[in-house]
Amino acid sequence: MKILVVGGGGREHALVWRLKQSPSEPEVICAPGNAGIAREVPCFDVAATDLESLAELARKQKVDLTVVGPEAPLCAGIVDLFQARGLKIFGPSKAAALLEGDKAFAKEIMSRHSIPTAGHRTFSELNAALIWARETVDYPLVVKAAGLAAGKGVVICRNPEEAEEAIRSMMEDQAFGSAGQRIVIEDFLVGEEASIIALTDGKTILVMESSQDHKRAFDGDEGPNTGGMGAYSPAPVVTEKLQSQIEREVLVPIVHALKHEGRPFSGVLYAGLMMTQKGPRVLEFNVRFGDPECEALMMRLRGDLAQALALCAEGRLDEADLSWSEEPAVTVVVAQEGYPGAVGSGRPIWGLDEVEESDDLRIFHAATRRQGSDWIASGGRVLAVTALGTDLAGARDKAYAAIDRLRFPGSFCRRDIGHRALGR
Q: Which is nearer to ligand GLY, 72 or 163 (CB)?
A: 72
Q: What does DSSP say about strands 65-68 and 89-90: parallel, antiparallel, or unpaired? A: parallel
Q: Which residue is nearest to ligand AMP (CB)?
A: 284
Q: Which does 271 bind (CB under 5 to 8 A by kind): ligand GLY, ligand AMP, none?
A: none
Total length of the chain: 424
As a whole number of angstroms, the distance between CA 154 and CA 316 comes to: 36
**Options 44, 132, 139, 188; binder of ligand AMP; rule CB under 6 A:** 188
**Options 73, 280, 290, 340; binder of ligand GLY; rule CB under 6 A:** 290
The distance of closest approach from Cβ of residue 290 to ligand GLY in the complex, given in angstroms and rounded to an integer, is 4
**Options 71, 201, 209, 284; binder of ligand AMP; rule CB under 6 A:** 284
Q: Where are the alpha helices (DSSP H) in 237-372?
A: 240-246, 252-260, 293-300, 305-313
Task: Tell me which H or E stretch contains 17.
Answer: helix 10-20
The distance of closest approach from Cβ of residue 407 to ligand AMP in the complex, given in angstroms and rounded to an integer, is 32
Q: Which is nearer to ligand AMP, 284 or 304 (CB)?
A: 284
Q: What is the dihedral of CA 98, 263, 1, 9, to 10 degrees?
A: 10
Q: What does DSSP say about strands 322-324 and 267-276: parallel, antiparallel, or unpaired? A: unpaired
Q: Which does 280 bind (CB under 5 to 8 A by kind): ligand GLY, ligand AMP, none?
A: none
Neighbouring C-alpha atoms within 13 Å toward the C-beta of 221: 11
Number of helices (H), then strands (E), in the chain: 15, 25
Non-local CB neighbours of 115 within 8 Å, separated by 6+ positions: 109, 249, 250, 253, 254, 257, 282
Q: Does 286 bind ligand GLY (CB under 6 A)?
A: yes
Q: Which is nearer to ligand GLY, 92 or 290 (CB)?
A: 290
Q: Which stretch binds ligand AMP (CB under 6 A): 17-25, 35-43, 182-190, 255-263?
A: 182-190
Count residues contacting ligand GLY (CB under 6 A)? 8
Q: Does 101 bind ligand AMP (CB under 6 A)?
A: no
Percentages helix, strand, coil for the chain (3-state, rounded to 5) are 35, 30, 35
Q: Does 151 bind ligand GLY (CB under 6 A)?
A: yes
Q: Does 230 bind ligand GLY (CB under 6 A)?
A: no
**Options 6, 72, 185, 189; binder of ligand AMP; rule CB under 6 A:** 189
**Options 293, 295, 304, 416; binder of ligand GLY; rule CB under 6 A:** 293
As a whole number of angstroms, the distance between CA 235 and CA 134 comes to: 38
As a whole number of angstroms, the distance between CA 84 and CA 88 comes to: 10
Binding site for ligand AMP (CB under 6 A): 118, 142, 144, 151, 154, 156, 186-189, 193, 215, 225, 272, 283-284
Tell me which residues touch ligand GLY (CB under 6 A). 151, 213, 227-228, 286, 290-291, 293
